[in-house]
Structure 1
Amino acid sequence: MSARKAHGAGVAVLAAAGLAPLVAAVTPGIVAAAADTEVSGVVINEVSQRVNPDWVEFHNTGDEAADLSGWKFQDDQDRGPEDYVFPPGTVIPAGWYLVLDAAEGDTRGFEFGLGAEDTVRLSDPTGTLVDSLSWTEHAATTYGRCPDGTGEVRLTAAPTRGEANDCSSPARINEVASGFVELVNPTDADLDLSGVVVRAAGADDGYVVTAGGVIRAGGFASIDVSVLPFAPSEVDGIELVDADGTVVDEQGWDTLPAPSLGRCPDATGPFAVTASATPSAANDCVPVAGQDVVKVNEVESDEGDPGDWIELVNTGAEAVDLSGWLVRDSDDTRFSTIPDGTVVEAGGFYVHEETALGFGLGGGDQARLYTPNGTLADSYTWEEHAATTYGRCPDGTGEFRTTTTPTKGAANDCGPAVRINEIESSDGEPSDWVELANPSAEDVDIAGFQVKDDDDTHVWTAPAGTVVPAGGHYVVEETDLDFGLGGADTVRLFAADGSAIDSYAWADHAATTYGRCPDGTGAFAVTVEPTKGAVNSCEGDAVPPAPWPGGPAVTVVDAEDAFDGDLSGIDYAPSGTAEPGVLWAVDNGRGRLHRLEWDGTVWANSTDDGWSAGKPLHYPGGVGTPDSEGVTVTGDGSVVVGTERDNDADDVSQLSLLRFDVSGAEAALSATTEWDLTADLPTTGPNAGIEAVEWVPDDVLTGLGLVDESTGGAYDPDGYPAHGDGVYFVGVEGTGQVYAYLLLDDGGIRQLAAIDPELAGVMALDFDLATGTLWAVCDDGCEGASSLLRVGDDGAFAVTGQVARPAAMANLNSEGFAITPVERCADGVRPVYWTDDDDTDGHSLRAGTLPCPEDPGEPGDDDGSDAGTDDGGAADGSDTGAGDGADAGAEPGGESGADDGTEDGGTLPDTGATAGWLVAGGLLLTLAGFALVAADRRRRAVS
């Protein structure tokens, strides 16, 4: 955009409508700011206390690193044990920032919220107050020091979590006409405009607001053309410049349109031609065609098929062009634009998929629809995930409710959840009957409902008080029906108002019964056997897993509260002898890698080379916080971590494998290579992506006869140069599938196989070299079942059986599993390990046993699935091979064999770990549970 310099010698300083003298010399709402930081250099730099969760930013303005170990952070109350104490090893390097979040009951931040009138205080270990800040009202943005780190505290222009404060003016250009320029104050506090300049784009001079000029909270100020040194209609753009010379807003045009160009909606929306000029008042925005008839109609927020989605419906009589409309969730920083050419016919539907959204929807969230000019057209807010979906009943006009079934891109299913589920028509036990099912999460009262066959005179009416329980069944016997069912007949179900709900017709008697498969929701089929009043028995139903092949008991093998949750994948690196090796484990929420060693009592963080608290992981270049779910040790000793998103980039699915060199003493690890699998894998939700990764050597797979599905021939490693010396097996939670990949040295990928482990989800993978078996492990969603996969005669991995978790092991959220090699065998068994992401009872690591193979020299001959009665154990916490599990909890922290998994582990103590973010100079590290982020980093691009 070019600009023509306005004529005039100097700048205008005349008063403008809407500007008033500044009443106070400080930002409204701030009571006091005090600091005594001569020794530490640490100040409270920015406070956010309006957007959940609250957060507080600390900044080390000194020339040396500041150790905050034992320092205390408080609000205006002395809360005793609930005051936040920084854990040992918390260090802020010179020039860096640390951001502490309100954890709201979590153990990873301060457990109190910040109010509209409150104080935050920072004290050293002696109790000396180092810094404090008080306010009397919520900040529209945040309160922050200006200049950054050293100045007085004022209202910022925008939150800058972990970065230098935005001390520019939050004022914005709101409307431009031939006769005036209007500014707006989008905040909830009066705004001092002293020294702010309005000028033609590219000009050196302009209108300067005189000292004492202020715009009231949410107000407007128009500057008349008579005091401007330029005419808006004679230039091609204007700029709003802060007193320090920073351009804080600008808008250009080819020809200034009449009557005016204004933001729609005011202050936040894009510029559009208005219906009339409105100086010093809200803009008169022209309605966009369709904004009153297009509605949010149905929402899937719980990782549907294939992910989250938002459905819109056109309730009008004419087609509506949705090109350029915006879809948002509850976060104003996230939006998705509906593609050009998207036209919804009258009465039609449009579904905005998660792949188009670029982000997922939460359990408590919003779906908001905006027109291209920024007008909110419709929205819906919910507090928790729906069992099915949330939808309007009736479509487009009714209130939102939980639908009976999801109906993406079609009319909502607003009828009763009860359906015909199973039919006996051939003199069953004791005669004919009709079973109804309620697959929903709520009881359904069916008083007045009617069941008929193909004869309208044959009617059964449900008496008052008849209820089909949530997830349950109700059987209508022939004695209730008062009529029988024929070999060729129909069963019909009607609501109390006579509307048809469901029906099924058949031409011949079933050998057993006709029933929905799966129960309550599927299509009708001939069942395997009648199951009156119970879940239908369908062809192909899963066979219950076999008992755990090792010892029945488990033992906790970590210190209490050592990890406090989020421990996910693990992998065992053998020592090569009978001595315990190393357990590598990843923490997904914190993006941290742990190197664990056996200390004779428990597995604990190694004290060598900076591993005492684990090391934070980052993407190449030292940025981001990978949500680290799976881990595997490769043949060259490097570690590869499987991730499903960048925790710093909101809820955006990003399926990557990251390689890390773990041989050095660095405080944090940046990936040496990233392989992005997002485009190659099926679409999943941001929390349903890569959960597991396992490296298997090439020579083992060629020895097993693996077939390369991409070529149809035997897998030939020599055909893929520069790929290392093994294959990576990747487990995806959302699809429940396993995929085999070659990772090329240049960052490229090659998929060799797709494998179905016949599990609802894959949380962990481990390859047992001794038996040639790939273990795929599910968590508490599958009752802890594991699938055993081996290469068959056709060269493909296939399920050879499934096993249940050990009898004495609770139904834990097991997201990691590791088998030790035959060198660890003792008395016929060897240790295996599970992680528990929920840290049940304060423990995240448990050990059990598997039998040793009879001939460990022949991989694949014996996977031990017929064993489990051997005695014996090992010296690293897994001595659980004998007995019935009743003594499994005898050691301190042990777990009783009588535990049926029904307890939730109680309230976990707050260890203070992972309390916040440290930010500076291009790196992202973790130190004593804190993430270090570059002060100038940008949000990582995601495909």
Structure 2
Amino acid sequence: MTTPIPSRPAGTCPRALAGPVRVGAGLAAATALALPLAGLGSVLAPSAPAAAAPTGASTVVISEVESDNGEPGDWVELANTGADAVDVSGWAMKDDKDDRTWTIPAGTVIEPGAFLVLDEESSSNPTGFDFGLGKADQVRLYLADGTTLVDEVAWTQPAATTLSVCGDQVLTANPITRGEANDCTPPSDTEDPEAPEGPVEPVAAGVVINEVVSDGGIPDDWVELVNPTDAPVDISGWYVLDEDDTKDPSVIVDGTVLQPGEFFVIERDELGFGLGKGDQARLFLPDGTLVDRAAWPAGTHATPSLARCPDGTGDFQLSAAATQGTANNCAAALVISEVRSQGEDFVEIRNDGTDTVDAGGFAIKDDDDTHTYTIPAGTVIAPGAHLLVTGDQLGFGLGGADSARLFAPDGALISTVSWTEHVAPSLGLCEGEYAAQATATPGAANDCVQPDPAAPLPTTGDARVTDQAGEWAEDLSGLDLQILEDGQQILWASNNDAGQVSRLVRAEDGTWVQSEGWPTGGKPSRFPDGTGTPDAEGISAGADGAVYISVERDNDAGGTSRNAVLRLDPAAAGDELVAKTEWDLTALLPATGANAGLEAIEVVPATAMTHLGEVPAGAEACAFVALEATGDVYAVALLPDGQAHLVATMETRLAGVMALDYDPGLNRLWAFCDEVCDGESVQFELSAATVEASARIARAKGLPNVANEGVAVAPAGTCTDGDLEAWFADDADTDGHSLRGVLLTGLECEVPAPPADGDDDADDGADGDSGQSGGQPGEQPGAGDRSATTDRSASTERTASTDRAGTARPGLARTGTDALPVAMAALALLASGGVLLRRTKVGPQG
């Protein structure tokens, strides 16, 4: 007897190795039957007929098929199940190819209850059907018109005997009954009475199941096989099932041979089914013989994995870490519990066992075998304790697409975690699965509470194109809005590839165009010596009339990192903007790749940093800058002679920060990610005693999830009727446009009053004349993009603008009346006292 190949539910598409399918008007559709592990043959439910046969022909069915070179060859048996004779002359038979058609000879009649066997053409039977039946094929019976389907049987592998139709079932291992009634005796009546009860025991066949992961392992559910023998084993056609015999099995492709000691992994998408709690993974030979079984208790998952120890021969046990495609974690109960690959890298090791482990000699590697850190001798980890290995100790950096691997002293891989992009704030092991942590916890228990879903920005849901088609090509990156004393709005923009700076004004239709005297694409910028092409990623207008750009490299030497801030005079004569000052922050900030450095800048008053740290006296300007590689924001004081001081590091928990926006009226900094984070952002309430990132804010509804690397939000003081404008620069120039605007709506427009005299926060700025040039700390509006200052640019044109009561206000028109509700308590987008939900505390740094 053979183990049946499980059937599939009626109406589903058969997968490889799915059993035969019966289709016909003479058979009722039925549900798939789940069989015990032992039985006469595979039982399958017929699917619905492709076309109903006419009355008088519906009694003729395909009753048995030989498709594997039987005696005298392939053959098909028809049966007349009705009470009247049926003339089948001229009826057509086809296999799975429509061009293979054979016509039943004239004068062929099947009497009631009789059988007709149609043989394959041979030397002894030259009039038989002239095509062979394959191992994966079908037989279709049509009326003489060649289009009306009478019956059909399909299969994807040869049967053990024949394909035998029994009522609404098709069996694959029944006795051969050519030209006679099929033997449809139930399996229980033919089983050996001496056969033992209980599940079928596996049969040794060389290859075994070695490791299994269920419930979202990395990557997802999977089954690993291994060949523990000293000879190659061909596993072509072997298949894997979970505990459910009715599912379509996962079949191993032809030509798969496992060499001695070789592993073979069947991924989740290859399995075709998930592995659940209290489930099992079973391995079968092509004929249905059970080879191996791995089962785990009811109510539990195989996580981190269920693994044999030792490999291939030992008993199954829950491992400390999954080791897909490599030796199982049998050496120790050590596991990589947390990793950070941006900012200050670290790898954390945890002892999940019940005994103290000597970790001396264990090695940590990334995805490069030449990058190795060996844990010093004598290092012991108590049960449940952690060992923290910092980036400085590792001696190599962890990249955006990388891995961390832990090896035993004998070279066995015992724990591994991989990622395809930086994960902020860290990647940690929680309930057997690696996931982004709510907070990085180096050297301590992981923070496995997942962040709340990002709350959406309240918008009208519309995003309007606000530039001319093809004006920018690609690489528009930085944006900053400046409001002049006369109320005119200037939008500053930077192009990172060409190093160009643009001064934009509103046109009558609300789009942004170059100011008079500014060329299309903007003016090229240069380093102070007049050379180079600064990679101008971010831009900010200062209260001193200057424009500041953040650059990550000189594009003329693109392979070298040069994280710098340049101060430009936009009113300077000439066609180029040569920097007056350069602050090189490369040594001050974490090291980055040449194309992963400074992405954004916001120049602010010194008072914006009151709760972050001390701003040195004499600072020429203060700014927030952001690094793409770390996703962090850095408060820096820009000192004379190109010197700079790091005031604080502000963790965003975003995978990257591409844009910053500061509102002086609210003393709030907004940090934006691009499509890498689905356009999410966070805010920092700079007046709070403890400054930390807010809950994540989702991308504005209607704004495409593209490379929005620049953001400019109108200041809260311009909010009218709950509406506020914002613009986004698309570095990829999607659909030929780089600049889009949205209307934030349903907002609280009231701006908090400044601190009264004597308030503790009124004079917390730097001493002396620190802060931006031209006034005392706290007197400057700070970010010139929000200031009521006079722009020194030669162009002073204005476009038509009225308040919301007027009729000629160019810009983003509010459309529709279904403005999103004010569900922004958690964000407090434009209200004072924003809610701060995360625990990452920002402190001063030296």
TM-score normalised by length of structure 2: 0.43
> Which has the higher relative contact order, 1 or 2, with Cα contacts under 8 A spaced 6 or more apart?
1
Larger Rg: 2
